[in-house]
Amino acid sequence: MDPDSARLALDLQLQDVDDSLRTLNTENEAAAFRVLRDELIKKKGEIDGQCAAMGLLRNEFGERSVHRRLLAEERQAQGDHGMASRLAGRAPVPQLALPVNRPPDEPLNGNVAESLSIDLGLAQTEYAVPGNPRKHRAEEDNETLREKTEGCVNRRRVAATKERRSNDENDATPEKVTLSPSLVDDQVRSDGKEELEASATEKAPQEIANRTPCSGCFEEFGETDIIKLPCPTEEDALKHAYCQNCLRSIFAYAIADSDHFPPRCCEPLEVSHCTRLLSDDLVSKFKDKKEEMDTPHRVYCSKAECAKWIKPLNIEAGVAACSECSQKTCANCKAKQHDGLCPDDADVQALLTLAKEKQWKSCPECKTMVELTMGCYHIT
């Protein structure tokens, strides 16, 4: 799902949740919907950030494509120039080794440092531009490359100069570079361009190859940021996987809504398999919820504002004490604690049935059952 569609879907879900909150009557459902609304708002903020990040990534990959195209044209221009030099009977240009990523204060070697002055500013990569107005097409492309790659090759200390076009351009003065030995041009250009191309392309294919799409948001993530599941069981099917945000949303929603517990994909999710991407607080809440759902005949606090589950350890003699608000609840009828026998108690119901058959009566004061052995059935 594209980011704009995801935003629209979340807005519609938030609107539905707000409509439901205005019409709900029970506090349990309202609390669940409030938790869901908070999760949706949090997810919407995350998607907004992801949209901005994706925009930056698209721009960066587009600029890398420009890198590769322009660098290929530059190499072609260098090859053409070398061939033209050989056909013209010129001596081959010697190669000069240039250190890679050298510190700004490190000299190149011997006398070359004195004759070669290069601006190694960390903010952007600058190329030497000859003062001669006549420019090879590859030189114009280099200027375009510099403009497009500002900010994307930050901290790349790349030094490059323009090659000499012809003998009549020997006296041209570069704006950024002062050339004394003309033999360093081609090597500086070659090494600098190769470093730039490598920095722009060597990491991207490896990172993309190891990324896995999330089955929830359909974004791609690295191995450490996603959980792979064994489902579906078909051999050729793509296994489902969830990123941290989607996995936490699944668990939070299941904890808030008992109807969706346990959290599941094709099958219930094993929390031990997912703890790597879950917070300690969420794992603790999941364990409490699992204990609650595994308890038969669950008792909840009769106070509507609380409505918390009461553990069996806090139930004694049919009375459940809430550990949150101290409200006492009848474990049989689930209402507030009351005096006397509870009509919803199975044993009490059996006693009342027997009393009806035997025509027993209960005392109006203490509610104790009284069996008539002699006299009339009237009790005052």
CATH code of residue 261: 3.30.40.10
Of 167-181, 241-255, 261-275, 344-358, the one with minimum mean pLDDT is 167-181
Task: Please give the average per-residue pLDDT across 90-113, as a whole number.
Answer: 45
Give me the amino acid identity at 354: L
Task: Please give the average per-residue pLDDT across 111-130, as a whole number.
Answer: 38
pLDDT at 100: 39
Q: How confident is the model at residue 39 (pLDDT cuts 50, 70, 90)?
A: confident
Nearest to 292 by CA among 265, 261, 263: 261
At 52 the three-state DSSP class reads helix
Residue 34 in any domain: the answer is: no
| Domain match, 122 and 253 both | no
Of 71-75, 102-106, 144-148, 315-319, the one with minimum mean pLDDT is 102-106
Percent above pLDDT 70 for the chain: 65
Residue 85 in any domain: the answer is: yes
- Which of 232, 265, 294 is at the close of a domain? 294
Per 3-state DSSP, the chain is made up of helix, strand and coil in percentages (nearest 5) of: 50, 10, 45
pTM over 0.75? The answer is no
Residue 5 in any domain: the answer is: no
| Domain match, 136 and 65 both | yes
Q: Structural domain of residue 253, as residue ranges?
A: 210-294
| Domain match, 306 and 353 both | no
Q: How confident is the model at residue 231 (pLDDT cuts 50, 70, 90)?
A: confident
Mean pLDDT of the chain: 72
pLDDT at 115: 38
Q: What letter does residue 375 receive in the DSSP assignment?
A: S
| Domain match, 118 and 148 both | yes
| Domain match, 181 and 84 both | yes
Give me the amino acid identity at 337: Q
Q: What residues contact residue 214 under an 8 Å CB cut-off, 6+ apart?
A: 220, 221, 226, 241, 242, 243, 246
Q: How far apart, in Å, do the first and last CA atoms of the chain sit?
A: 76
- Distance, CA of 320 to CA of 308 (rounded, Å): 11
| Domain match, 166 and 249 both | no
Residue 65 in any domain: the answer is: yes
Of 25-29, 119-123, 163-167, 232-236, the one with minimum mean pLDDT is 119-123
Task: Please give the average per-residue pLDDT across 193-203, as a whole number.
Answer: 53
| Domain match, 108 and 179 both | yes
Q: How many angstroms separate the Cα of 115 from the Cα of each of 94, 107, 296?
A: 17, 11, 87
pLDDT at 232: 81
| Domain match, 185 and 219 both | no
Q: How confident is the model at residue 247 (pLDDT cuts 50, 70, 90)?
A: very high
Residue 256 in any domain: the answer is: yes
| Domain match, 195 and 219 both | no
- Distance, CA of 128 to CA of 179 (rounded, Å): 10
Residue 169 in any domain: the answer is: yes
What is the number of domains present in the chain? 4
Residue 18 in any domain: the answer is: no
Residue 29 in any domain: the answer is: no
| Domain match, 109 and 121 both | yes
| Domain match, 81 and 199 both | yes
| Domain match, 218 and 183 both | no
pLDDT at 317: 81
